[in-house]
């Protein structure tokens, strides 16, 4: 098992800001159950706004190979993820945290970091019809095999663990098209209001 310092090294290696990444005081937190479209949305938003993409599923695979999604694993993942987020914020980079983020006490760590670094925080919770999620997850498992991040059983388990989001946030339904345009509209409006 890696030490916390080794876990952080893995995070650093896979989250190096690229040339397109700008320095901005923006943190976008994209939350939602597996299969709701978090990563699809996150990739597009990172490109548009020049944010560092911290994708928990990708980083979980890099840390653990074949993830179990057990609580001990999640604790290690999020400790390293938030340590890396803190470093990036200290360096002046904007972030997009792409993760289920279903538990409010875990999100509060992100809220604190965002506040301490004087960043604008935008929280977007994605929802999708269970039937559509089931179809998406089935396709993902068929395409990725054992490397798939989450399947229907993980979705069902996590669906029982959703805490209400306390700060101001936005809910987007990805069952139909248009979620990206709505997210861009929200972010542009929120940035303009500052």
Q: What pLDDT digit, counting tens, does each position of 137-191 carry? A: 988 878 876 555 678 988 998 999 899 999 999 999 999 889 999 999 999 999 9
Tokens of 62: 């890099």
Q: Report how far residue 173's alpha carbon sits from residue 23's, in angstroms, rounded to the nearest whole number.
A: 30
Of 104, 90, 68, 76, give the one whose Cα is nearest residue 11.
Answer: 76
Do residues 33 and 60 lie in contact, with contact meaning Cβ atoms separated by under 8 Å? no
Q: Report how far residue 162's alpha carbon sits from residue 173's, in angstroms, rounded to the nearest whole number.
A: 16
pTM: 0.91
Q: What pLDDT digit, counting tens, does each position of 3-41 carry? A: 888 888 888 888 888 766 767 899 999 999 999 999 999
Q: In what order do the strands lie in the sheet with 52-55?
A: 52-55, 95-98, 26-32, 120-127, 170-173
All domains in the chain, ordered by first residue: 4-192 (3.40.50.300)
Of 15, 160, 151, 28, give the one whose Cα is nearest residue 97.
Answer: 28
Q: Report how far residue 31's alpha carbon sits from residue 159's, in angstroms, rounded to the nearest whole number.
A: 12
Of 124, 109, 113, give the one whose Cα is nearest residue 25.
Answer: 113
């Amino acid at each position: 098992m890696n030490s916390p310092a080794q876990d952080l090294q893995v995070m650093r290696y896979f989250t190096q800001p690229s040339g397109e990444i700008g320095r901005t005081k923006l943190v976008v937190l994209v939350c939602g159950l597996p299969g709701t479209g978090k990563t699809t949305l996150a990739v597009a938003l990172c490109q548009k706004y020049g944010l560092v993409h911290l994708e928990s599923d990708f980083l979980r695979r890099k840390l653990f190979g074949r993830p179990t999604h057990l609580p001990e694993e999640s604790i290690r993942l999020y400790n390293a993820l938030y340590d890396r987020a803190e470093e990036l914020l200290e360096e002046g980079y904007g972030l997009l945290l792409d993760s289920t983020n279903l538990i409010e006490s875990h999100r509060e760590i992100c809220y604190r970091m965002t506040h301490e670094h004087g960043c604008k925080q935008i929280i977007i919770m994605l929802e999708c019809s269970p039937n559509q999620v089931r179809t998406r997850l089935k396709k993902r498992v068929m395409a990725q095999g054992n490397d798939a991040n989450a399947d229907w059983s993980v979705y069902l388990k996590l669906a029982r663990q959703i805490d209400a989001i306390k700060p101001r946030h936005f809910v987007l339904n990805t069952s139909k098209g248009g979620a990206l345009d709505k997210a861009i509209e929200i972010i542009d409006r929120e940035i303009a209001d500052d």
